[in-house]
Chains A and B, each alone.
Chain A
Amino acid sequence: MQAGKLRGDADVRSLTLDFLLNLLPHVVNGLSLGLLFALIALGFMLIVGVMEVINLAHGSLFALGAYVALSLMGTSTSAGSYVMALVLAPVAVAAFGLLLELCMRRTYGRDPLYGLLLTFGAALVIEELIRAVWGARERTLAIPEAISGAVLVGDLIYAKYRFFACAVAAALILALWLFIEKTRVGAVIKAGAHDSEMVRALGYNLSRLRMGVFALGTALAAIAGIIMAPIWGIRPHVGVDAVVPAFLIIVLGGVGSFWGAVIAGILVGLVVGLTGAYASEWSLMSMYILFILVVTFRARGLFGRKSALDT
């Protein structure tokens, strides 16, 4: 009887170990997916958090970044051309973002709907522009030879490119945080978001500040577009695939909260990754269920600032 119990315990331990070993690759996958989601939301979060503008053109700028990179790279698979595209395309898209910011100036201080409508219109214009310039068919951005192929560790099979993408996402998150928290410009940006009149009174050029933030936000959208292009593919409406999770993530994390957006991105990645493995039909829906659950119990999101209505 003792031997039977021991055998039973060993079976349970073995089953648990099997389950954990089976689960582990999906947890790793979920975490990396989360970093990619956070990357997608980064530019969106910056513009919403600092300028209080919901930039619905974020997805289209994401797509534009991928297309500009495609034009710069062509069919080349060299690391040099990829790095060049990763640097130059966001600069080009940021220049486009500056133009968009110029158009948006009349909406500042007015009903947020004006900004929403303007950026929605801009999204449609950019998408049509992409169709006119690059055509409607599916395109592929080549992965540099050095980071193509797969890595197999136990049951975790993963593309080398995804590791690279996650590393870029983590580096950008860290760099942006350092920029906002540890630099003088970052401090002014934060102050501008908090009390624009005071910032003006202190002699800072708020218009230039907003331009800079918007350009940075659009450049981040473009970088996310380039990083995601080899995974998702490129088509004129690919931005829709980006803007919806980006919007969800910043609300889930709490509007204006940097780490809220990052943690929400990782949570969404984990939920999508794990449901994809164990309840696949729910994988896309899972992020919305998570969102509803969080917002039901905590309307301001996970790390959102408390509003007067909460007291």
Chain B
Amino acid sequence: MKRRSLLKAIAAGSATTFMGPWATNHVWAQSAQKKPLVVGLTMDASGQYGASGGEERLGAMMAIKEFNEKGGVLGRTIEALHMDTETTPATGSRVAERMITRNECAFLVGALHSGVANAISQVAQKYGCIFLNTNSSSPTEAGKDCHRTKFVWDGNGTNFAHAIVKNAMKVSGKNWVLLTNDYVWGHNTSKATRALVEANGGKIMDELLIPQNTRDFSAYLIKLQQLKPQVVAAAVGGDDIKALRRQVVQLKLNKNFAFINNQQDWPDVYGLGPEEIFGVFGTNWYYRLDLPGVKEFVDKYQKAYPGVQIKVPGNVYYNGYMATRELLRAVERAGSTNNIKVIKELENLKVPARERMQHFDAYMNPTTHQIQQTIYMATYNDQPAEKDDIFKILASTQPQEAEDKDAPAACKLESYEATPTYEV
């Protein structure tokens, strides 16, 4: 055989082998077997929030696995279909459109970037498909960008600001500088922080807008050195906050000012050195909360995902899990995948603290579609019980105290009648 022919044969063989496992045909005879319920996971695998996207996917997959182990939901097994939303709103729209129109996804779950979440939710609302915003925290998500079909599961910038700002003003001072990631979450989170600081007699000396994907913060840090604020409040996320933390430590600026990060996602600090986890920050869950169920939850994660680099679950995983679990429970209670029935179930959702593994009961606000939950203020744990025990929880705030009071006025949910019926 000539060399070229051999190469062609190898190539053809490889292509056949490669294509084999991917070509699957789903033919479902409704009478013999119920059609699986497909949940579309609209989660980032690349871009600024790529690392967190992987974590929330594991959370959603865990909830799906638990349901499948007890026979699925409404007698239907649950399948997960993931597509990378690339931390890009346009990709989010495309993925949502495709999942609904081509892949017949019953529900969409997942978002980190608020611009992406907003883009997905517009498509979902157009078709009436329920979308769970698991981890994106712009106050606008449950405010002016709310939708009848969208439910928000993370605490937002305003909730975290309520939990942190007053205390930081008492402890550190009244002259603040805001570092704001230049997109919807950063803007709205800093807006909430600014309002609280000014309402309590503080002063915003300056607000530095940081474009997404900034890797060099030297100009901002020199500016901070010139401004000499007492408190620096950052609303910076994903890969950007990792680079920022690293460069602040290199300049030892963490010793000059009090630093606050509105919300600190676990994948964004996991693996950083102890010095780099400086300041005070908000979170809605920690893997060493001394509450019933937490240890079992962590064990389950470690057993299911032994090879992952993040060895213990964090808030992003938790939100992915909780959102998916509550959705599937709502489907069970509704006895249907009909969107309006499931929406009504979710709107009346109340989850006892024990089931949420938080300190206080959580409840869905039916006028904003955001779950109201315990918010924690944390800092670096200088006396860790084990390697991953890097947070020290300083305080917990009740959902009612952390609630975003402006959200109900800003949120105009579409009526049930104006929401298309959707049932897959």
Contacts and interface: CB of A to CB of B under 8 A. Distances in A.
Pair from one complex: yes
Interface of A: 22, 25-26, 29-30, 32-33, 135-140, 143, 148-150, 152, 155-159, 161-162, 230-233, 235, 237, 241, 272-277, 280-285
A76 to B, nearest CB: 14
Nearest to B246: A233
Contact of A25 (B210, B213, B222): B222
A64 B243 CA distance: 19
Contact of A143 (B54, B209, B250): B250
A136 B267 CA distance: 11
B246 A157 contact: no
B257 to A, nearest CB: 12
The 7 closest A-B pairs by CB, nearest first: A276-B219, A281-B209, A284-B211, A159-B250, A137-B309, A157-B225, A150-B251
Interface string B207-221: 011110111101111
Nearest to B225: A157
Interface residues of B, number: 39
Nearest to B239: A235
Nearest to A237: B46
Contacts of A282: 211
Contacts of A135: 309
Contacts of B79: none
A225 to B, nearest CB: 13
Given A135-B309, A150-B251, A237-B50, A232 B215 contact: yes
A137 B267 contact: yes
Interface in B299-322: 309-310
A136 B54 contact: yes
B169 to A, nearest CB: 24
Nearest to B223: A277
A140 B51 contact: no
Nearest to A284: B211
Given A235-B239, A276-B223, 10 more contacts: A26-B222, A136-B50, A140-B246, A140-B276, A149-B252, A150-B253, A233-B239, A283-B219, A284-B213, A285-B211
Nearest to A148: B250
B249 to A, nearest CB: 9
Nearest to A137: B309
A137 B219 contact: no
A186 B16 CA distance: 48
B211 A157 contact: no
Contacts of A33: 216, 218
A138 to B, nearest CB: 5
A157 B251 contact: yes
Residue among A139, A140, A231, A280 with most chain B CB within 10 A: A280
B239 A277 contact: no
Given A159-B250, A281-B209, A284-B211, A138 B218 contact: no
Contacts of A155: 222, 225-226
B270 A137 contact: yes
Interface of B: 46, 50-51, 54, 182, 208-211, 213-216, 218-223, 225-226, 239, 242-243, 246-247, 250-253, 267-268, 270-273, 276, 309-310
Nearest to A279: B209
Nearest to A134: B309
A32 B309 CA distance: 35
A275 B216 CA distance: 12
B220 A138 contact: no
Nearest to B182: A281
B222 A231 contact: no
Contacts of B225: 25, 152, 155-157
A202 B209 CA distance: 58
Contacts of B271: 137-140
Given A22-B226, A137-B51, A231-B246, A280 B210 contact: yes
A26 B220 CA distance: 10
A121 to B, nearest CB: 15
12 contacts: A25-B222, A26-B219, A33-B216, A159-B250, A231-B246, A232-B215, A233-B242, A233-B246, A273-B219, A280-B223, A283-B210, A284-B214
A273 B218 contact: yes
Contacts of B309: 135-137
Given A138-B239, A241-B215, A273-B218, A230 B250 contact: yes
A155 B267 CA distance: 34
Contact of A283 (B211, B242, B253, B268): B211
A155 B225 CA distance: 6
A114 to B, nearest CB: 18
B219 A272 contact: yes
Contacts of A156: 222, 225
A303 to B, nearest CB: 25
Nearest to A228: B215
B3 to A, nearest CB: 15
A284 B211 CA distance: 7
A33 B219 CA distance: 10
A61 B219 CA distance: 27
Contact of A158 (B211, B251, B310): B251
A148 B252 CA distance: 10
